[in-house]
A and B are shown apart, each in its own frame.
Chain A
Amino acid sequence: MFEWLESTALAIWVGESLWGYPFLLGLHAIGLAIVVGIFVMLGLRMLRIIRGVSFNAFLSLYPLAWTGLLLNALSGSALFTSQATTFVQSAPFLIKISAVLAGVILGIFLQRRLKLRIADWDAADANIESSAAAFAVLSLVCWIGAIFAGRLIAYL
């Protein structure tokens, strides 16, 4: 299946055109900054390291975060096709994908929790449950871990 993927027109364009691969990498970096940037800010806010920004503000940032994620799912899939057989055997790649998936699931979970608790959390920082803070830590670990593993794909 992965060999077939590498033989598709998309994979060949990504791998062989002059600008295909670098252009997609550029898009991937922009999407990364949006997704990781917003989720790291949210995580730091939930841990009360960032203060003074309302949780309502973060709720309104969610569509932007999901747009960044979509951008990276698309650019990432296109990049993947060009070297599919190599990537599926790369440990850092598999760790990265797992970290991103876990980060997305946590992101959805935090979004639902945020909607339920927004009035209390915006009333006082002390109302943020320690269980919610624990999920924020997990979310930070996932996104920073995804960057770690993602960068190491080129080295291991």
Chain B
Amino acid sequence: MIETLVQAIEGGAINTWVLSTFWLWPLLEIIHFIGLSLLLGSILVVDLRLAGLLRQIDLVSTQHLLPWALAGFTMNLISGVLFFFGDPGRYSINIGFQIKMVLVLVAGLNLLVFALKINPHMSNWDPHGDTTVFAKTVAWVSLAVWTGVLLLGRLIPYIGTG
């Protein structure tokens, strides 16, 4: 399946564009790093408060940071897909990349739990008080998974393929 995907991408219009535009790769890397700062920076604040720490921060007010997490994720989704289209053979068989993608998926499912089970109830909680064990679990899973995503992403060029 992966081989079919790689063959479909290689030589295609996007693949050619990414590879032949000489400044594009570093520009995409810069976008990817700014995106990860927005994503991780805002998620960090939301999750630490959700974990019951930093109680000086109003719990509900952290929701104002969520659009920036989404903005950062969108920047990284677009730049990331272009990285993949630029070098599908290398990424698809890289174990670091594969685990990173699994972790991004786990983060997405964890976010879904947050959006459905926690976010709608947050306004009823004490804005400067402790949080539930369930909320803390979701928060620490998020922090652990995103830290893993970041570490693995940085390891991709160094880690073995296959």
Contacts and interface: CB of A to CB of B under 8 A. Distances in A.
Interface of A: 21-22, 25-26, 28-30, 32-34, 36-38, 40-41, 44, 50-54, 56-57, 59-61, 64, 143-144, 147-148, 150-152, 154-155
Contacts of A28: 154
B56 A32 contact: no
B58 A26 contact: no
Interface of B: 26, 29-30, 33-34, 36-42, 44-45, 48, 54, 56-58, 61-65, 68, 147, 150-151, 153-155, 157-159
Given A26-B155, A57-B57, A60-B57, A40 B64 contact: no
A144 B34 contact: yes
A148 B26 CA distance: 9
29 contacts: A21-B158, A22-B157, A26-B150, A26-B151, A29-B150, A29-B151, A29-B154, A30-B151, A32-B33, A32-B36, A33-B39, A33-B44, A36-B41, A37-B37, A37-B39, A38-B45, A40-B37, A41-B42, A52-B63, A53-B57, A53-B64, A53-B65, A57-B54, A60-B54, A61-B45, A144-B34, A147-B34, A150-B33, A152-B30
A56 B42 CA distance: 16
B40 A33 contact: yes
B151 A50 contact: no
A92 to B, nearest CB: 10
A125 B131 CA distance: 29
A33 B150 contact: yes
Contacts, number: 107
A32 B37 contact: yes
Contacts of B155: 22, 25-26
A144 B40 CA distance: 15
Contacts of A53: 57-58, 61-62, 64-65
A41 B69 CA distance: 11
A50 B154 contact: no
For the complex of A and B, list the 3 residue pairs with the smallest distance between their C-beta atoms, beginning with the closest. A37-B41, A33-B40, A36-B37
Nearest to B43: A37
A147 B33 CA distance: 7
A79 B154 CA distance: 14
